[in-house]
């Protein structure tokens, strides 16, 4: 049971990585094609915070909480990552690299975070504002006295 939950965590981890990478690709294409949805404030802010979190982890040598959770669940089941199913091991190979590549990964994470920040500046998200007409209509409504 715990091994299955650990496999699910690997899938969640992959979804997170995919969100960061594919999200940035879509933002870049969206800037060129003038897609308006790429300026969605929720999407852009969550995307920015995600890559900043990843860069912070790399720079300070912090293990991702999802990785820690996966190891913990596998430990409860008495297994290791080598005991995982073939597809899970393959996904892990896509996401994790040998420790000797750490300096390169730190640079890549920081450059990628810089790219996300740059696109955040070039094509900033649009935050919804309260419509002026609705606000003025509420303000213009006569006060009602219930006597």
What pLDDT digit, counting tens, does each position of 58-117 carry?
A: 899 898 999 999 889 988 888 877 777 777 777 777 777 777 778 888 899 999 999 999
Which residues are CB-contacts of 45 (< 8 A; sequence separation ≥ 6)? 125
Nearest to 96 by CA among 48, 64, 118: 64
Q: What is the predicted pLDDT for the residue at 57?
A: 92
Tell me the per-residue pLDDT of 2-48, one tens digit each, with 9 for 90 and over.
Answer: 888 988 998 999 999 999 999 999 999 999 999 999 999 999 999 99
More confident residue, 49 or 100: 49
- pLDDT tens digits for 113-140? 999 999 999 999 998 876 655 555 555 5
- Backbone torsion region of residue 80, taken as left when φ is above 0, otherwise alpha when ψ lies between -120 and 50, otherwise beta: beta
Match 């003025």 to its residue by tokens: 136
Spatial CB neighbours of 106, under 8 Å, sequence gap ≥ 6 = 58, 59
List the domain boundaries for the chain.
Answer: 2-140
d(CA 5, CA 106): 29
């Amino acid at each position: 049971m715990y091994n299955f939950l650990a496999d699910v965590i690997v899938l969640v981890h992959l979804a997170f990585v995919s969100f960061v990478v594919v999200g940035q690709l879509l933002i870049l294409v969206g800037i060129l094609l003038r897609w308006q949805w790429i300026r969605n404030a929720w999407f852009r802010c969550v995307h920015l915070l995600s890559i900043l979190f990843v860069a912070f982890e790399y720079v300070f040598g912090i293990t991702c909480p999802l990785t820690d959770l996966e190891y913990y669940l596998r430990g409860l089941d008495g297994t290791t990552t080598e005991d995982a199913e073939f597809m899970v091991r393959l996904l892990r190979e896509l996401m994790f690299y040998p420790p000797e590549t750490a300096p390169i990964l730190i640079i890549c994470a920081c450059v990628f975070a810089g790219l996300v920040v740059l696109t955040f500046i070039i094509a900033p998200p649009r935050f919804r504002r309260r419509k002026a007409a609705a606000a003025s209509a509420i303000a213009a409504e006569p006060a009602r006295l219930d006597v």
